[in-house]
Amino acid sequence: MPTCRDVDHSSAPCCAAAAYFYALELDGPALAWEFLRRHADYRAEWQASAGRTMGADPIRWGLRCRP
């Protein structure tokens, strides 16, 4: 039986979905972070802000700082 390693991933959506099963166990904040950290615009803004204290604009991205 072929596994995810044996097939072309572009034609095997089951393999792509299997990579995200861990997300079923995430709570709200962790799930939000998983989506945000994959957002191309967020990553670009974060990289462009290297060296600044706040990094990417937290309000723009809906982030809250906890005390």
Amino acid identity at 52: R
Structure tokens at 4: 């995810």
Question: Between these two residues, 29 and 63, which has the higher pLDDT value?
Answer: 29
pLDDT bracket for residue 20 (50, 70, 90): confident
10 Å CB burial of residue 18 (0-12, 13-18, 19+) is exposed
The pLDDT of residue 40: 92
Residue 36 has pLDDT above 70, yes or no: yes
- SS3 assignment, position 13: helix
Between CA 31 and CA 49 the distance in angstroms is 24
The pLDDT of residue 7: 52
Between CA 23 and CA 31 the distance in angstroms is 7
Give the CA count within 13 Å in the CB-facing half-sphere of 56. 18
Q: What is the pTM of this model?
A: 0.53
